[in-house]
Amino acid sequence: MHKKYLKNFTGRLIITAFFAVLQIIAFIVTLVLLSSYAIPILFALTAISVLMVILIVNRKQNPAFKLTWSILILAFPIFGGLMYLAAGLQSSTHRFKKKAAAASAVVAPYRKQDRHITDELYDRSRTKAAHASYLANQAKFPVYKNTAALYLPSGETKFERLLAELSKAKKFIFLEYFIIQEGFMWDSILKILIAKVKEGVEVRLIWDGMGCMSTLPPDYDKILTGLGIKVMIFNPFIPLATVIQNNRDHRKIVVIDGHTAFTGGVNLADEYINAYERFGHWKDAAVMITGDAVCSFTMMFLETWYMNHPVDKNIDAFLYHPAPGEFVVADPARSGYVQPYADTPLDGECVGELVYFNLINKAKDYVYITTPYLIPDNELVTALCFAAKSGIDVRILTPHIPDKWYAFAVTRSFYGQLMDSGVRIYEYTPGFIHSKTVVSDDSIAVVGSINFDYRSLYLHFECAALIYDNPAVMDVKRDFLDTLKVSEEITRERYKMIVRRSGSVMSILKLFAPLL
């Protein structure tokens, strides 16, 4: 980390620590003042904790979250229940959800499914039609034709193609990222954005308040606004205990003129293109979408934008309306189907996990998975193990050099159970692999921002593209198999060595997996 970023982060960390200490002091002072009523207060607080555990057990929530929170509250019965109750009653949480619901209602009419496409897909493959039906009917993300998908197997290839496409923009550019950091990558992109603003192109930029807390200087939004770029900081970080701070915008989206979009795992920082090495060689992936399916990415961006900005008077102006013959996919017969989708922690629907779950359960020959964090819940573990036991070739590729030691330890804690069922585990030995891809049966693939961990699957705002019967599917497979050539398969002997060295740490941290 460069010194200037460390300085920014340290300053904000000091402020956060200061407010945290103030909250602790205020809490202690309150207890001292009420010490004369210690016995009834102790009884009341314990009762609250018991009631909170009963509430948690009966909530519609993942069992792992229920278990972890119940253990924490019962381990600290005096304070645990009260803190959980206070977090749930915060007005900021309810305001956040209200804004998100209002923004979702605005874009909903623009996500309509063409029934001719779903009927055609049903006739071709009932398995793929089931995938499409869930996303179209339950999550409200249509499946499209007349769309090309170009798989980009590294941050470097994504960066090169992104610069080229940004330079072609004529009307607008939308960017939404979890992390942006000043350096070669961002400076190159910013140079184009400034030039485009001068040409009259509208540029809107969203970044996550916590993701960029240590990577961008204070008031950077004001600097960009002065350059003509419209900026939104998603869920700005505040140094107070609020559960909404868990809900981060982990998406990576670029939309250009309504006809071209990018998504995947690549953020806008130098390590993602190996211009700055942090954890060995950084392996990532992205996909460029052109054509009708870009509409869904446009609506994803606008839905987030409208949480903090007035609704545009003419949303239709951001959609692509080609003249006859103006935009034609190079080979319509081979372009297949593309279905972009998003996931939000606010709707009670675990879209990202259910798509993965569906792919694993409906696989006939193989499922190949790449993820930087393998921290699945019980349902995903069961699906992976059952698929492998049923003769499906299940392979999972994870990093060998971690970016977070504790996440790496928990990831490795799942190896044993999966390997016992026949799942083959590999670690990318050159460094850190950040790709989030799944490919199955030479016919369907997912490329997006969604990790196999609790934060991505339950807490973060995420996005991805589900690709059917498209040449990009085989590109994802080839990239996976090529990457295995420089990866180490975790054998039973190798796993025993890992357990001997750090088994106890892995076991302890696994208990808190839903909170990591």
Q: Is the pLDDT score of 1 beyond 70?
A: no
Half-sphere exposure of 287 (CA within 13 A, CB side): 34
| 432 or 12, which is more confident | 432
What distances in angstroms separate CA 93 from CA 98, 222, 300, 423, one per listed residue?
Answer: 9, 26, 21, 40
What distances in angstroms separate CA 147 from CA 2, 10, 288, 331, 332, one per listed residue?
Answer: 41, 45, 10, 10, 8
Half-sphere exposure of 510 (CA within 13 A, CB side): 19
- pLDDT of the residue at 218: 85
Per-residue confidence at 506, pLDDT binned at 50, 70, 90? Answer: confident
Distance CA 160, CA 163 (A): 5
Distance CA 367, CA 382 (A): 14
Among 42-56, 125-139, 162-176, 336-350, top mean pLDDT goes to 162-176
| Type of residue numbered 107 | V
- Three-state SS for 279-323 is CEEEECCEEEEEECCHHHHHHHHHHHHCCCCCCCCCHHHHCCCCC
- Output Rg (C-alpha) for the chain, integer angstroms: 24
pLDDT digit string (tens) for 204-245? 999 999 889 889 998 999 999 999 999 999 988 775 555 566
Per-residue confidence at 494, pLDDT binned at 50, 70, 90? Answer: very high
Contact in structure between 388 and 394 (CB atoms under 8 Å): yes
Cα-Cα-Cα-Cα torsion 191, 193, 199, 201, nearest 10 degrees, comes to 180
Q: Is the pLDDT score of 20 beyond 60?
A: no
pLDDT digit string (tens) for 99-157? 999 999 999 999 999 999 999 988 888 888 888 999 999 999 999 998 999 999 999 99
Per-residue confidence at 9, pLDDT binned at 50, 70, 90? Answer: very low
CATH 3.30.870.10 range(s) for the chain read 115-132+140-339, 351-515
pLDDT digit string (tens) for 449-458? 999 998 899 8
Contact in structure between 261 and 295 (CB atoms under 8 Å): no
Out of 2.120.10.10, 3.30.870.10, 3.40.30.10, 3.40.1190.20, the CATH code matching 115-132+140-339 is 3.30.870.10
Distance CA 375, CA 460 (A): 15
| Type of residue numbered 131 | H
- pLDDT of the residue at 91: 46
| 375 or 27, which is more confident | 375
Q: Average the pLDDT over 491-501 and give the result.
A: 91
Out of 3.30.870.10, 3.40.50.300, 2.40.10.10, 3.10.150.10, the CATH code matching 351-515 is 3.30.870.10
Per-residue confidence at 76, pLDDT binned at 50, 70, 90? Answer: low
Contact in structure between 44 and 82 (CB atoms under 8 Å): no
Distance CA 487, CA 428 (A): 4
Q: Is the pLDDT score of 6 beyond 50?
A: no
| Residue burial 306-339, b: 16+ Cβ < 10 Å; e: rest | bbeeeeeeebeebebeeeeeeeebeeeeebbbbb
Tokens 């008031």 belong to residue: 219
Q: Average the pLDDT over 405-421 and give the result.
A: 93
Q: Average the pLDDT over 266-273 and give the result.
A: 96
Per-residue confidence at 390, pLDDT binned at 50, 70, 90? Answer: very high
The CA-CA-CA angle for residues 115, 439, 446, to 5°, reads: 50
Q: Is the pLDDT score of 448 beyond 50?
A: yes
- pLDDT of the residue at 333: 59
Q: Average the pLDDT over 186-198 and give the result.
A: 98
| Residue burial 353-382, b: 16+ Cβ < 10 Å; e: rest | bbbbbbbbebbeeebbbbbbbbbbbebbbe
Query: Please, which residues bridge with residue 175 across strands?
Result: 205, 254
Q: Is the pLDDT score of 332 beyond 90?
A: no
Q: Is the pLDDT score of 353 beyond 70?
A: yes
Per-residue confidence at 441, pLDDT binned at 50, 70, 90? Answer: very high
Weakest-pLDDT range from 216-220, 285-289, 367-371: 216-220
Tokens 């420089």 belong to residue: 486
Q: Average the pLDDT over 4-25 and give the result.
A: 53
φ and ψ at 432, to 5 degrees? -110, 130
Contact in structure between 57 and 66 (CB atoms under 8 Å): yes
Q: Average the pLDDT over 464-468 and give the result.
A: 96
- pLDDT of the residue at 125: 87
| pTM > 0.75: yes or no | yes
The CA-CA-CA angle for residues 443, 255, 462, to 5°, reads: 60
Which two three-digit tokens encode residue 53?
Answer: 């555990």
Nearest Cα neighbor of 263 from 273, 275, 255 is 255
- pLDDT of the residue at 334: 62
Q: Average the pLDDT over 35-45 and give the result.
A: 63
Q: Is the pLDDT score of 73 beyond 90?
A: no
Q: Average the pLDDT over 421-434 and give the result.
A: 97
Contact in structure between 394 and 366 (CB atoms under 8 Å): yes
Cβ contacts of residue 51 below 8 Å, gap of 6+?
Answer: 81
| 213 or 294, which is more confident | 294
